[in-house]
Structure 1
Amino acid sequence: MTNNFLSRMAVVAAGLLLSVAALANEGGDLQQSGTDLDDRASLQRGAALYMNNCSGCHSLKYVRYARIAEDLGLSEQQVMQNLNFTGGKFGDHVISAMTPEMGVAAFGKAPPDLSLIARVRGPDWIYTYLKSFYLDESRPVGWNNTLFPNVSMPNPLWQQQGLQQPKYGPKDAAGDRPVEGFTISQPGSQTPQQFDQTARDIAAFLEYAGEPAALKRHSIGVWTVLFLAFFAFLAMLLKKEYWRDVH
């Protein structure tokens, strides 16, 4: 009975690990984003990039403008002038102007809320996804993505990145030719290195949006470690005092 139970649990655990791996690595290997939540400038740039390029379709319904201002060191005026394009109030959640009906009409499905995308996929997935768009005339919107094949959205950052054409490899067992790389047919406004930073900043901002408390937790963690080190030092001195007369 015990062996059967353990065997079943092992099968379930293996299945969960495979599911997580498939979800995290959908469509290809992930590139390291190098996000840093302690880099406030990166988070500020990421917020501006997200609001200007992504928030027209994707909401952040669990994040408020006021919380962004507090956490990222921005004033109310800066947030309302540079990050709020829907006319919402300072204390409102970040809601897209695009309704689900508009999304279905434009893309065939409503764009998802991205509040928790970094907690589900991870910042490396977001970073790789933003860099993996390429032109594909067979798709309804004219774009495809190697990490998320047949995605129903265009490249929101094509003006910065440029237009990527796919480089196909030899046919596989199924007769398909996988995309093995890209060539830039029309340069964007940024160099590849600059675009890497753009994708990194957006990934960092979405990582923050998935758990805003992480910023404070990081700072509190430093003081917690220092307290524990000091407490350990006091405990060592107390031990020596107690055992000083014991031979």
Structure 2
Amino acid sequence: MKRMIIALVALLPSLVMAAGGNVHLDKANYDLTDKASLQTGAKLFMNYCSGCHSTKYQRYERVARDLGISAALMQENLMFIEGTKIGALMENAMSDELGAKWFGATPPDLTLVARVRGADWLYTYLRSFYEDPTRPFGVNNVVFKDVGMPHVLQELQGVPRKTYESRLIDGEQQDVYVGIRADGSGEMSTDEYDHAVLDLVNFLVYSAEPVTLERRSMGWWVLGFLVIFTILAYLLKKEFFRDLH
């Protein structure tokens, strides 16, 4: 628990800096009951994110069980560190020292990022990279200005660029930023990419609190118990005070 608190405190400053001002956040309509979406999100995370980011407060075995993935399939397709056992924590192979050397700061663990930042922020952030030759990795981000990481999903999206429209404002034609558009070189269409990002966000939301569905289910049982108990308590009170009047 102490290690988790320390990691969260270390993560907060970088995320606060990434607030991105008054950027509009798109709604992430994730669904924790959609096992197919969670499985795709896990695949995307392990293939594109886990090289730098860990989710070290999760275990492979728990993720496989919750997402309906067999242990054999998990080990064969989603566990890339040689010698890792199914019950191990989901660490990444890159050391903190190398991460700091290569990126200027150690890439944070992402187990709790969805709780800290929210699903809408993550969904918008992952769709807000754009080409910027002045940056070390050739990209920047509308939500996280001067982002220090590459656009790891670029092969799926294509090269994203800021787009502008000429509009008449106060009697003058001005170029107004209207969004980001990929150049079509990616493996996915815009809709397919947005859906893939939503699957990835869905997995990160699950990762931040794996017991969410169990907690919600238990909550309904608790509420039902309280309603029944309240009715019984009222009837008991009514019966008790009948003899006093």
Structure-1-length-normalised TM-score: 0.78
Q: Give the C-alpha shift of residue 169 in structure 1.
A: 7.7
User: Out of 205, 208, 217, which is 2:206 matched to?
Assistant: 208
2:75 partner SS: helix
2:183 partner SS: strand
Tell me: CA distance 1:70–1:30, structure 2 relative to 1, closer, same or farther (3 Å): same
Mapped pair 1:117 → 2:113 = yes
Give RMSD over aligned pairs.
2.7
Q: Give the C-alpha shift of residue 160 in structure 1.
A: 1.8
Mapped pair 1:92 → 2:92 = no
User: Out of 220, 223, 240, which is 2:221 matched to?
Assistant: 223
Q: 1:10 maps to which residue?
A: none
Q: Distance in 2 between matches of 1:69 and 1:234?
A: 43
Q: Distance in 2 between matches of 1:43 and 1:231?
A: 38
Mapped pair 1:149 → 2:145 = yes
> In structure 1, what residue type is equivalent to 2:105?
K
Q: Give the C-alpha shift of residue 141 in structure 1.
A: 0.6
> In structure 2, what residue type is equivalent to 1:193?
D
Q: Distance in 1 between matches of 2:117 and 2:237?
A: 48
Asked if 1 retains the 8 angstrom alpha-carbon contact of 2:18 and 2:143, the reply is no
Tell me: CA distance 1:78–1:231, structure 2 relative to 1, closer, same or farther (3 Å): farther
Tell me: CA distance 1:231–1:23, structure 2 relative to 1, closer, same or farther (3 Å): farther
Q: 1:3 maps to which residue?
A: none
Mapped pair 1:26 → 2:20 = yes
Asked if 2 retains the 8 angstrom alpha-carbon contact of 1:71 and 1:215, the reply is no
1:85 partner SS: coil
1:49 partner SS: helix
Gaps in structure 2 of 5+ consecutive residues:
1-12, 167-174
Tell me: CA distance 1:82–1:218, structure 2 relative to 1, closer, same or farther (3 Å): farther
Tell me: CA distance 1:151–1:24, structure 2 relative to 1, closer, same or farther (3 Å): closer
Q: Give the C-alpha shift of residue 227 in structure 1.
A: 2.1
The within-5 A match list for 1:193-204 is 193-204=191-202
Q: Distance in 1 between matches of 2:37 and 2:232?
A: 40
Q: Distance in 2 between matches of 1:245 and 1:191?
A: 75
Tell me: CA distance 1:228–1:24, structure 2 relative to 1, closer, same or farther (3 Å): farther
Q: Give the C-alpha shift of residue 107 in structure 1.
A: 2.6
Q: Give the C-alpha shift of residue 240 in structure 1.
A: 5.1
Tell me: CA distance 1:70–1:23, structure 2 relative to 1, closer, same or farther (3 Å): same
Tell me: CA distance 1:225–1:139, structure 2 relative to 1, closer, same or farther (3 Å): same
Tell me: CA distance 1:226–1:195, structure 2 relative to 1, closer, same or farther (3 Å): farther
Runs (4+) off by over 6 Å = 244-247
The within-5 A match list for 1:1-247 is 25-27=19-21, 28-87=23-82, 88-167=84-163, 180-239=178-237, 241-242=239-240
Q: Distance in 1 between matches of 2:186 and 2:108?
A: 27
Structure-2-length-normalised TM-score: 0.79
> In structure 2, what residue type is equivalent to 1:26?
G
Report Cα offsets for 1:107-156 as digits up to 9, x if no partner: 33322111121121111111111000111111111111100011111111
Gaps in structure 1 of 5+ consecutive residues:
1-18, 171-176
User: Percent identity between the aligned chains?
Assistant: 46
The count of aligned residue pairs is 222
